[in-house]
Structure 1
Amino acid sequence: MSASLHHFLNDLTGLNDGMLILISITINIIISILGFIPSVFLTAFNLSAFGFAPGIGVSIAGESIGAIISFYLFRKGLRLKGIDSILTNKYFQRLKEASGAEWIFLLFFFRIVPFIPSSVVTVAAAFSSISILPFSVISTVGKIPSLLIEALIVAELLNVTRGNMILAAVTVGIGVLYGVYRYGRRMVGR
């Protein structure tokens, strides 16, 4: 844990690293159950609070435990607010209809790809015939590459200098202005 963040967290909460890890994993479980909150912010906290490798370990543990608990709860009948959109999702349909080696490959692939919502994959697994043990192993192994990519991106963002931050903000600003300009021209052309 970086010294300044460590002191800040100790002063703020009075909690040791073990308690902070437990809290982080608990928050990750809640994020997994809710299914719509991105965990990237928690990954950023874990990397800042515990360092790169331990932070990734905490994130992997939290996401894995969260996926397993979510799988169990969805299988027992827990319903998400947006379940209708998940049930019609093309990834959901593909996973639900797969079996055997194809199911293992698809679950692993969908876990690696960071842009497919975890809740879709977990709900699809809960609605399929896979048992909890294979789901847990495949889901965890598939999450590791995705979390490594996420952690590398977050680590770079956490180490951004002021000059790079200004350059990024200007670049985004120019992109937004260009998008508004293009949208305006399209609207005038109608």
Structure 2
Amino acid sequence: MSLLETLYGQPVWLAIIISLAVSIVIAIAGIIPSAFVTAANIVYFGFSWGLVLSILGEALGAVISFILYRKGLKKLSDKIDSARSIKLLDMLKQTDGIEAFVLVILLRLFPFAPSGLVTLAASYSRMGTWTFTVSSTIGKIPALFIEAYSVHTVLGWETEYQLAAAIFVAVAGISYYYWTTKRKKRRK
């Protein structure tokens, strides 16, 4: 972690700005896992402050990406028609008010719903920015706590176990990718 080593001795606000900026970029990209930023935050700031900074970064990233996605979707709304969609995400598109608020919280809590898709669907819905901000942040807190605790635990492991875990995750991810790709090809 050479960036973290470079930041030691620098003003804390610089590390905070870098962490928030990286979190925002990850949220806008929509497909990059945030666990690396959470790990860096925990290593640099400790568990409690690292978790708080991760929650803040993810919340800011979600709101900024929500606004950007909404602006982009307004331009593309006539061209968007998904042949295959996720039922809860479709439901979110048609909702507003308290129903949309609760759906975003539930989708943020659901471990397999990609964060970028939830934000995209919410930006396509009729829900307001403030409602999305509050519900998204409430939903992200438990997920980030679990992520931060897991990262904190793994960082406490010996290097050999960390490497084994990383290899396992990489193999599982690649296998899952090929399995889903193969299934999609068989359906066509």
TM interval, shorter chain, is 0.7 to 0.9
Given the two structures, how large is their TM-score scaled by the length of structure 2?
Answer: 0.75
Return 5+ residue gaps in structure 1 as ranges: 180-190
Distance 1:35 1:86 in 2: 21
Which of 103, 109, 112 lines up with 1:112 in the alignment?
109
Distance 2:160 2:70 in 1: 49
Q: Give percent identity, aligned residues only.
A: 42
1:122 aligns with 2:122: no
- Aligned to 1:77, the other structure's residue is in SS state helix
Partner of 2:182: none
TM-aligned CA deviation for residue 100 of structure 1: 3.4
Distance 1:6 1:33 in 2: 22
TM-aligned CA deviation for residue 92 of structure 1: 2.0
Return 5+ residue gaps in structure 2 as ranges: 176-188
Which of 57, 61, 67 lines up with 2:56 in the alignment?
61
* 4+ long deviations beyond 6 Å: 83-87
Given the two structures, how large is their TM-score scaled by the length of structure 1?
Answer: 0.74
Task: Compare CA radii of gyration and give the structure with the larger one.
Answer: 1
CA RMSD of aligned residues (A): 3.2
1:143 aligns with 2:140: yes
How many residue pairs were aligned? 167
Task: Pick closer, same or farther for the CA change 1:107–1:154 going to 2, 3 Å.
Answer: same
Distance 1:36 1:68 in 2: 16
Within 5 Å, give how 1:1-150 maps onto structure 2.
Answer: 8-10=5-7, 15-77=10-72, 88-150=85-147
Give the conservation status (yes or no) of the 8 Å contact 1:56–1:151.
yes
- Residue deviations 1:31-62 (CA, integer Å, cap 9, x gap): 11111111011111101110000000110110
Distance 1:7 1:63 in 2: 19
